[in-house]
Amino acid sequence: MIQAFIAKKLINVALKKIMKAREIKNLQKYVEEDNELDLQIRAHAKQLDKYGQYIEKLESEVGTLKKNSHSPQEFICCRECGCKITKTKIKKGEK
């Protein structure tokens, strides 16, 4: 009776250690090896870097355009009233 009890306890202890070692191996495998989410994160990071470079390029082009552009112009009516004109039209034949 006592021998069966001791054998049962030893088997339980051994099983717990084996299961714990197996869990540690699974956990170690999960941590060290790449899984689906790791691959997705890397793909998103590559896209983010690509878009960041594209935005930097656009910002530099906008800076160049602002540097080379002229200041805003005000159009004033040619008549004596002095009102502002938003658009001027050139008739055909006139320049």
For the chain, give every domain's residue range. 1-33, 35-67
Regarding pTM above 0.75, the answer is: no
Task: Please report, to the nearest 10 degrees, the dihedral formed by the alpha carbons of residues 52, 57, 59, 63 taken in order.
Answer: 160
Query: Could you give phi then psi for residue 36, rounded to 5 degrees?
Result: -60, -40
User: What's the pLDDT at 52?
Assistant: 94
Walk along the chain (95 residues) and give the pLDDT tens digit of each residue: 788 888 888 888 887 888 777 887 787 787 788 889 989 999 999 999 999 999 999 999 999 998 888 776 666 666 667 666 655 555 555 54
User: What's the pLDDT at 25?
Assistant: 79
